[in-house]
């Protein structure tokens, strides 16, 4: 899979530098946030509701302008590389009544390759069918997306990102409102992405998943509070600074001993 001659693979897959952004008419949602993610890494973004996790993702994919700072994908300015960033928003932001099938949603990821107002060719259909097979969605190809379970919906949009040839995938709360079976299916889908060398940044309230299934953890609350290896970041002082003293954790000194998987949820 080629990124094109303008991409510098020696550069971080995602680099965010001194980013400040917010919504028109409101105070800044994020202030002076900086971090880098290497190619193929899986990073969990945690923080309380209103911390700016969704805001960060929307700024990276170009849905929200930022007042200052810089974002790059493999060394290329994000304004020139949005097509190489896949974005799976929260369920509440998608119109699940739209009359489109699972196959059609995944095929939408091929538009950059096909071109507007052109019909997909056999190669495009083969790619989509192969992705549906990889993510155990083949039997659902003709089903309307609103008829899917929460876990199936997440996997459909992950398949679309793969069809797009996205090199960085942002997932906003992928484990919200799914049962344990669906959660495991999503985790298996993320493992497929990792095998494809895709960089994954996901926001979550599930601190256990962040600790056990991420290369790095980023703690956000309108600013960057901590970023690094899970065992370095998921510690009492950092978590209490982000979530407040009501966070249900047990510590021994600065070391985190136990936390609830839904910690921070309201």
- 92 domain residue, yes or no: yes
In the structure encoding, which two tokens stand for residue 202, read together? 């996901």
pLDDT in tens, 118-135: 788 899 999 999 999 988
**pLDDT at residue number 6:** 53
Tokens of 180: 């344990």
Q: Give the residue numbers spanning the domain of 201.
A: 14-259
Q: Are 104 and 143 in contact (CB under 8 A)?
A: no
Domain count, the chain: 1
3 in a structural domain: no
109 in any annotated domain:
yes
* pLDDT number for residue 262: 47
Q: Which residues of the chain have pLDDT under 70?
A: 1-9, 245-266
Provide the pairing of β-strand 224-228 with 85-88.
unpaired
Q: Which pLDDT belongs to residue 132?
A: 94
CATH of the domain at 183: 3.40.50.300
CA dihedral (171, 149, 214, 219) positive or negative: positive
**Global confidence as pTM:** 0.83
Both tokens of 93, joined, read: 């932001």
Q: What is the pLDDT of residue 79?
A: 75
Q: What is the pLDDT of residue 4?
A: 45
**Res 256: pLDDT:** 52
Note whether residue 1 is domain-resident. no
Domain assignment present for residue 148? The answer is yes
The alpha carbons of the chain give a radius of gyration, in whole angstroms, of 19
Residue 71 counted as domain residue = yes
């Amino acid at each position: 899979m080629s990124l094109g001659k303008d991409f510098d693979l020696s550069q971080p897959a995602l680099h965010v530098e001194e980013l400040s952004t917010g919504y028109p008419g409101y105070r800044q949602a994020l202030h002076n946030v900086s971090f880098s993610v290497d190619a193929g890494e899986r990073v969990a973004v945690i923080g309380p509701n209103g911390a700016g996790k969704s805001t960060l993702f929307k700024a990276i994919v170009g849905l929200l302008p930022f007042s200052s700072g810089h974002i790059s994908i493999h060394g290329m300015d994000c304004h020139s590389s949005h097509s190489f960033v896949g974005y799976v928003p929260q369920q509440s932001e998608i119109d699940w009544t739209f009359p489109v099938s699972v196959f059609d949603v995944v095929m939408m990821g091929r538009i950059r390759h096909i071109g507007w107002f052109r019909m997909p060719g056999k190669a495009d259909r083969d790619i989509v069918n192969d992705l549906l097979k990889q993510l155990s969605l083949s039997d659902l190809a003709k089903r309307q997306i609103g008829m899917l379970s929460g876990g199936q919906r997440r996997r459909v949009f992950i398949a679309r990102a793969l069809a797009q040839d996205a090199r960085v995938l942002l997932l906003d709360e992928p484990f919200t409102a799914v049962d344990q079976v669906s959660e495991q299916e999503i985790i298996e889908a993320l493992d497929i992405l990792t095998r494809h060398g895709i960089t994954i940044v996901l926001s979550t309230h599930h601190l256990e998943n962040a600790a056990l299934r991420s290369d790095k953890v980023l703690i956000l609350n309108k600013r960057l509070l901590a970023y690094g290896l899970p065992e370095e970041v998921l510690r009492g002082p950092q978590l209490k600074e982000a979530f407040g003293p009501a966070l249900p954790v047990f510590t021994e000194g600065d070391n985190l001993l136990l936390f609830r998987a839904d910690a921070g949820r309201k």
